[in-house]
Structure 1
Amino acid sequence: MIKKVLAIGVLAALSVGCKTSKPVAEAPATEKKGDFKPYNKVITAEAISDKGLFITHKVDDKLYFEIPDSLFNKDMLWVSRIAKVPSGYGGGYVNAGSKVNEQVVRWSKRGKNVDIKVMSFENQSDEESPIYKSVKANNFEPILYSAKIETMKADSSAYVIDVTSLFEDEVAAINGMDASAKKRYKVRRLDKSRSYIEDVNSFPQNVEVRHVMTYEAEQPPERGQASTISMLMNQSMVLLPEDKMMSRIADYRVGWFTTGKYDYNSDALKSDDYRIINKWRLVPKDIEAYKNGELVEPVKPIVYYLDPATPERWRPYFKKGIEDWNKAFEKAGFKNAIIAKDPPSKEEDPDFSPEDVRYSVVRYVASTTRNAVGPSVVDPRTGEIIESDIIWYHNHLRSYRNRFMIEAGAQNPNARTLETPEEEIGEMMRMVIAHEVGHALGLPHNMKASAAYPTDSLRSAEFTQKYGLTPSIMDYARVNYVAQPEDKGVRYIRMMGPYDLYAINWGYRYLPEAKTSEDEKESLDKWILEKAGDPVYEFGGGYGGVDPQAQRESLGKDQVKASEYGLANMKKVVPNLIKWTTKDGYGYDELEEVYRELIGLWRGYLYHVVTNVGGVYETRKTSDQEGAVYTPVPDDIQEGAVKFLNENAFTTPDWLLNKDILDRIESNGAIERIQSLQSRVLNYLLNEDRLLRMIENQQLHDNDYAVIELLEDLRKGIFAELYNGKKVDAYRRNLQRSYVAIAIDYINKLEEDDDVATTDIIALMRGELETLQSQLNRMQYSTSDRLSRYHYKDLIARIEKAFTAK
């Protein structure tokens, strides 16, 4: 999962290199008119040295870089990551391997000093054009670090500098803790006595430094951390290729991770801002055969090695997940474009290390984190992916096991156990790896893909076995929760689909005749237009919460129907959870874990429905395509969504409040938990942006289902007991108070000079509260339950207080 996201970086921090460090023999040095110390006085016989991009030397507690003269002013990508993080840091959302910064640097010699300059390639101009001087003058490179030259080689071919303070002091550009974290944990200072360089490895194309940073903090993430926050940082410096790959210009109609550019040589009346896609450099070995439509191997295939720590049991599934992408690359004209390999033995490659940028590795991390990520190292000058490390955290399968039980347990007997059969769990692992490799190839999430398939098609064995759950493996569609118990032979686990083949062809097909990026655009546009209007080939990132057809975890075109199916299955699962999750002689930890995750998935089903209300469909188009980009969700779908919410979100979920389960996992908390969930759904439904979209859509598109209809439907649903005279239970009382509180909060914004004060929302909420107050006054005695009457009186008092205060 993973963690949108643009994923750039070297995750070399999670595995220690296996190289043997030995002192580097050096010819006697001569002083240069006393400017520098003799070489052997700086790099002594006790030095632990490592040859690679730079020769690195550890002398006592100092670290020296010996920089060849040939590498000055060369572009290098510097990636800073947190290799190890204290428990609870960042609220648990910052994991080992999290990138904190990446930048292109150049080492440059300035007199007796060496500087590290931070370069930018965002702003561009032809060096021969008059504006080039202005672009350079207005993008002056900052100096990240400077050190004096300590000594030099006898032949003046390399200079030695002390870089200890670069890693032991607090240098903001490579620091693991930003200003907000320091404020959150009340950090006083970096303690240099407890900050040190732990390890350094130099490889032919990169240098890796691991260093510990320790901060004094008044409020560390957890109490047991003794007013201290320590983290292990990994700094990766990667030499970028001088032979630059030709970039491919991005198009927002096809999903790709991209790098932004500004071209000041544009003929337009402004700089031309555009984006290029991030992709590996794949060139056919036989150009003529490729032109003739034959499948051709690339000059340099994409190779992933498995981490030596990967359990033997799971290696076949990892390899299949990687090489599944060959099907997509064949669509782009390549065969054997991506290869999965076991880690080489010491005899096969004694210098193999996952930290070496020459190797892309699927890392298997012993961590309780439930996640997998697929970042990559990208050359920001061209968008070329240089290297990638897929991270698989050990406990990630636990999430899939639980989800399989919750969402498929009613339909699939193999899901009714904590020991999920290897066939199913291996297939899940394979598809997770395939998903993460998709990211590493340049593809972002495509949350719109799932809406291409009719919801009821996911109940068909023939359809799902052929087409999967969604047209793209890059969608979040983990388990088929739509299928019902009577549907036999259905596929339950996602797989690669037609969109993935289309996107890889669009991004990776080699165009031999094209000499520039602009030369490719006609062909790229043609491929998109050939698929225009077919929802299978549409892209939507799923961010913003506006388009109900581009949502995380949703399945099928009809989100209301899909959630109905999902809830029907959940109601069958809950009564069986004790039997499926417990074992003689053990407690109820597993039951509690699965039950709480089930509640989270139920909330997700509700959110999928809410997004339809005030929702807007987005179909990405360019100006040469007919039709609108944005279209409001039809009235009947919005009205049906609110009906679903009244019946399933705002009624008391008796099916979920299973006494047998609750008596085993908690002494109390059910009421508060349901209140929190229902209130969050209600707040999401009555979100200001949603209401404003509904107001605008009514005005511009003559939508009949407007805010006033929404509020009336909610009042009749949430306060149904007021009209039928029934008792109001504790859950419903909390919900009704939440509704009144939300409306009052909007009215209060009138006095806060809030932007909402200039909209219709306050008038609508005031009118709704007046209607509710009138009905409460008139019908409060329609129930014989005394607590319900007290509750109604309390609501009346709250509304009166709100009006009186204004």
Structure 2
Amino acid sequence: MKKALLLSCGLLAATFLSLGQTTKSPAAVQPKPADSSASKKPTSKAKSYDQVITKEAKSKKGLFTTHQIGDKFYFEIPKKHLGKDMLLVSQIAKIPNGLGGGYVNAGTSSHEQLIVWEKFQEKILIKIKSYAAVAADSLPISLSVKANNYEPTLYMFDIETYSKDSSNVVIDVTKFYSSDIPAMSGLDASLRETHKVRNLDASRSFIRSIKSFPLNIEVLQDFTYNATKPSATAYTETISMQMNQSMILLPEKPMKPRLFDQRVGYFTQRQYDYSSEELKSDQKTYIQRWRLEPKDMAAYKRGELVEPIKPIVYYLDPATPVKLRKHMKKGVENWQKAFEAAGFKNAIICKEAPTKEEDPDFSPEDIRYSVIRYVASTTRNAMGPSVSDPRSGEIIESDIIWYHNHLRSYRNRFLLETGASNPNARTLDTREEDIGEMMEMVISHEVGHALGFPHNMGASSSYEVENYRKADFTNKEGISASIMDYARFNYIAQPGDQGVRYIRQMGPYDSYAVNWGYRLIPDAARPEDEVPTLDKWIEAKAGDARFRFGNQGTTFDPSSQTEDIGNDPIRASTYGVKNLKYVAQHLAEWTSKKTNDYEDLIELNDELLGSWSRYVGHVTTMVGGVYEQYAKPNQHISTYNPVPKASQQAAVNWIISNVFTNVEWLINREVVTHNMAGYIDRMRSLQVSPLNRMLSVETFARLDNSGLTTPNHYKTIDLFQDVRGGIWSELASGKNIDRYRRNLQKAYIERLKALMTDQAPVVLMSRESYPVAQSDVRSIVRGELKALQASLTASKAKFADKEVRYHLDDCLERVSLILKPAK
């Protein structure tokens, strides 16, 4: 989970505090630490403790003592915690269906910010703090850093009273947690605009609970908003949601951070260090990781496996079905071997949650406990969020979230992607051992996120495609070099391939990445001192594709794609499509004919179309594709290398043969006769999507740039000519043009029209603007339109079918109007 947090201004805060003390007590003129605002109860208008915290109070001791009196809530804050760094995490607990178009989920963190509680006169302030800009306190520039990064005040409270020994201050937090504060809200400006949110309805909003634990406080809010366009039950004009606010005390001494290197995938924290001797601020990026320290440092230095002082422990939610617990436990502890590569034994452990009798104070909401939560929800997903210290990147806690229906997605994908060669997958009642292994690997994947690892979408491309058909290779190496890739199943193996592995597993990259991020370098005093050693670890694996990190964020690298396997997208997708054709022929046999119901057949058929579209997308990425390989200058490796011309042409030809033609097999007659779902339009959409992606401005920009480093490169004009030849091949052959092709040909003309007429410059992913009107694109498009106009004029007489002739007449008219718009 990535964070974006702000900055500290302790000097000015201390100044304000000192001024406040001076006006209240003669003792305050003596220098004092900022977190001890007064040793005696100051003279004020505050009520006595017993007047505020009455006998009716329901109190709970923890980080702060919390009190509830009727519908009012109070925090009793120890003065020793004033000025201490805390993390405020705002997380969506429950949301209505369809909020944000379905892209916002329960469990999503909406805000994470560093805060401090400060006393100013007879007020308590919550200040938002940041470590995004820092400088050593001993340097003069630290004064400027603090003065130019003054933190905002999130909220100000009146002091209601003091504890009887004056060591604590008491504030009323009811209004704070009942208000619609943007910095803590689950509805950002975009969502408010989308759903036309007018305001928070105070009469229907309340604090559901406040719980205090030794290191954190958890507040559950029920908020109801008046909204003109709610995502569900529109007639109510209401959006109701629950928010969970976690306030977490950060460690007194931050962990020593480790500098990030983009050649190894980690979630990160960023800072601008103004202590640098360079002529500019020095941006430092630290990785997110747990704090692991060996019990026996001497043995650790000798290279022995040593247990950590505090291992990473996950507890199983008591709501987890008993038969699934062993798979979850194994999924967590699969990482033990990876941590051994970093010198730690039993570094990560999974336990059953204690019973009430064993530990009455245990709670999944206690920040001291990381829990695998089992959520009764129809959502098909799993998540591995974590909370980290923005000062150092130390991961403080994480909860793995498993949604009940997630295994249905895996059952479906297992059937569709492996059913052609795997008899065990040809059923709606997947074997428990297969389901258990799938769950185990999903948990391992999500735990990887919670350990600091993002997706490594390049991991599966390190294996040769043909190796996926070999039992010895797949059972040893799995189907990807990392569990962090989205490489779920072996969809390459063909009927007759015996003994191959179908389900993913941990890979060599996982141990390598754990070693790089978690192995201690004891003799390095500063993060910068670690860099030479860290570089050596990377360079020792250079050239071995299994240890390459492939960023998920790219849309142009065919070797770093989601849901793909193998190092050749064309060959892999050819095998995948061949398997889907077999499955399509037998889908009714494996579903509706067994259940006497069409629900599963229709659902699986829709997902089959999705699988086909993914395989097509893997090949489409090769067109205008660029391989990305992170490196440092001393490695003498080019970071970006265009896909060779021959490979791009082969990709275009594959799409022409497998996407622009020969798609009738995708229409399942058994499904169509029992489900009016508009399959003709669905096919149009599936064909047009790769067409538009190939003929996109982003593709043209990459093709243009590739000419700077590759003389014999695939050019934009080559792409246009190849695509036109493939889409309009009937004009030369006289072959009948079916409805799928007619739709596609019209879409082609519409795409060229857009390229000719759209006025606004296109902003690419690199945030650079590509001025289409000033490039060669329109010149080429105009030439292609003229060539098509001539072909249509010369060829339309070949076709006797009236529907086809009308289609060609229409296409000719459309082309003519683009070239010479009507006045």
Displacement, 1:652?
4.3
- The equivalent residue for 2:758 is 749
Matched, 1:788 2:787: no
- Counterpart in 2 of 1:613? 623
Q: What is the alpha-carbon distance in structure 1 between the residues aligned to residue 41 and residue 295 of structure 2?
A: 51
Q: Is the 1:77–1:239 Cα contact (8 Å) retained in structure 2? A: yes
Structure 1, gaps ≥5 residues long: 10-29
Distance in 2 between residues matched to 1:421 and 1:131, nearest whole Å:
65
Selected match of 1:538 from 521, 530, 548:
548
Q: 1:393 and 1:583, CA in 2 relative to 1: closer, same or farther beyond 3 A?
A: farther
Shift in CA distance, 584/621, structure 1 to aligned 2, threshold 3 Å: closer
CA positional deviation for 1:63: 1.0
Is residue 572 of structure 1 aligned with residue 582 of structure 2? yes
Letter of the aligned partner of 1:604 in structure 2? R
TM-score (ref. length: structure 1): 0.95
1:104 is the counterpart of 2:100:
no
Q: Is the 8 A contact 1:8 1:376 kept in 2?
A: no
* 2:183 paired residue among 165, 173, 182: 173
- State which of 221, 226, 230 in structure 1 corresponds to 2:231: 221
> Could you tell me how far 1:222 is from its partner in structure 2?
2.1
Please tell me the residue identity of whatever aligns with 1:761.
Answer: V
1:74 match: 84
Shifted more, 716-725 versus 753-762: the winner is 753-762
1:766 and 2:766 aligned: no
1:651 aligns to what?
661
- Contact 2:86–2:249 (Cα < 8 Å) also in 1: yes
Matches within 5 A, 1:40-189: 40-189=50-199
Q: Which moved more, 1:640-649 or 1:579-588?
A: 579-588
Residue in 2 that maps onto 1:437? 447
Please point out which of 689, 694, 701 is paired with 2:703.
Answer: 694
Q: Is the 8 A contact 1:361 1:390 kept in 2?
A: yes
Alignment of 1:622-661 (within 5 A): 622-661=632-671
Q: Distance in 1 between matches of 2:281 and 2:95?
A: 42
Matched, 1:504 2:518: no
CA 1:751–1:202 in structure 2 vs 1: closer, same or farther (change >3 Å)? closer
Deviation at 1:130, TM superposition (A): 1.3
Q: CA contact under 8 A between 1:750 and 1:762: conserved in structure 2?
A: no
Residue 805 of structure 1: SS of its match in structure 2? coil
| 1:585 positional shift | 6.6
Instruction: Answer yes or no: is the 8 Å Cα contact 1:482–1:565 preserved in 2.
Output: yes
CA shift, 1:752, in A, is 8.3
| CA shift for structure 1 position 660 | 1.8
Cα deviation 1:764-804 (Å, max 9, x = unaligned): 11111110010000011112211111111100100111111
Q: Is the 8 A contact 2:4 2:113 kept in 1?
A: no
Q: CA deviation at 1:34?
A: 5.4
Structure 1 partner of 2:11: none
Q: CA RMSD in A?
A: 1.6
CA contact (8 A) 1:7 1:376 kept: no
In 2, distance between residues paired with 1:644 and 1:799?
27
Specify which of 279, 288, 306 is matched with residue 298 of structure 2. 288
Q: Which of 755, 761, 779 is equivalent to 2:795?
A: 779
When residues 724 and 234 of structure 1 are mapped into structure 2, their CA distance, relative to the original with a 3 A threshold, is: same
Mapped contact 2:554–2:560 kept (Cα < 8 A): no
Partner residue, 2:365? 355
CA 1:387–1:604: 2 relative to 1, 3 Å:
same
Deviation at 1:667, TM superposition (A): 2.5
Aligned mates of 2:232, 2:70 — CA distance in 1: 34
- Does the 8 A contact of 1:8 with 1:378 survive in 2? no
Q: Which amino acid aligns with 1:529?
A: E
| 1:750 CA displacement | 5.3
Q: Which has the bigger relative contact order, CA under 8 A and spacing at least 6?
A: 1
Contact 1:697 1:703 in 2 (8 A): no
Q: After the TM superposition, which residues 545-624 of structure 1 pair with which residues of structure 2 at under 5 Å, given as runs?
A: 545-582=555-592, 587-624=597-634
1:242 maps to 2:252: yes
Distance 2:668 2:268 in 1: 48
Change (3 A) 1:32 1:104: closer
- Correspondences of 1:267-282 after superposition (within 5 Å): 267-282=277-292
Q: 1:752 to 1:384 in 2, by over 3 A?
A: closer
Contact 2:471–2:499 under 8 Å retained in 1:
yes
Q: Give the conservation status (yes or no) of the 8 Å contact 2:41–2:166.
A: no
Partner of 1:23: none
Q: How far apart, in 1, do the equivalents of 2:235 and 2:522 lie?
A: 59
Partners of 2:257 and 2:527 within 8 A in 1? yes
Whether the 8 Å contact between 2:265 and 2:453 is mirrored in structure 1 is: yes
2:575 corresponds to which letter in structure 1?
A: Y
C-alpha displacement at 1:351, in angstroms? 0.5
Structure 2 counterpart of 1:799, from 798, 801, 815? 815
1:421-500 pair list within 5 angstroms: 421-500=431-510
Seq. identity, %: 52
CA distance in 1, matches of 2:761, 2:619: 32
Distance 1:197 1:583 in 2: 52
Aligned partners of 2:626, 2:44: CA distance in 1, in Å? 73
Question: What is the aligned partner in structure 1 of residue 267 from structure 2?
Answer: 257
- Equivalent in 203, 208, 215 of residue 205 of structure 1: 215
Partners in 1 of 2:616 and 2:602 — Cα distance?
Answer: 22
Aligned counterparts of 2:468 and 2:594: Cα–Cα separation in 1? 37
Q: What is the Cα deviation at residue 429 of structure 1?
A: 0.3
Tell me if the contact between 1:325 and 1:434 (Cα under 8 Å) persists in the aligned partners. yes
Q: CA deviation at 1:223?
A: 3.3
Closer, same or farther: CA 94–750 of 1 in aligned 2, 3 Å: closer
- Once the two structures are superposed, what CA deviation does each residue of 1:260-315 show, in whole Å capped at 9, x if it has no partner? 11111111111111210000011111111111111110011000000011110000
Opposite residue 554 of structure 2, the aligned amino acid is G
Q: Aligned partners of 1:60, 1:156: CA distance in 2, in Å? A: 25
1:35 positional shift: 1.7
Look up the equivalent residue of 1:214 and give its one-letter code.
Answer: T
The alpha carbon displacement at 1:492 in A equals: 0.4
Could you tell me how far apart the structure 2 residues matched to 1:390 and 1:449 are? 23
Distance (Å, rounded) in 1 between the aligned partners of 2:4 and 2:421 = 40
Cα shift readout 1:517-562 (whole Å, capped 9, x = no counterpart): 1221111011011111111111111222111100001110001100
Confirm whether residue 6 of structure 1 aligns to residue 2 of structure 2. yes
Does the 8 A contact of 1:8 with 1:377 survive in 2?
no
Question: What residue is the counterpart of 1:21 in the other structure?
Answer: none
1:258 Cα deviation from its structure 2 partner: 0.7
Deviation at 1:148, TM superposition (A): 0.3
Which amino acid letter does the alignment assign opposite residue 682 of structure 1? Answer: L
Read off the aligned partner of 1:793 and give its amino acid letter: D
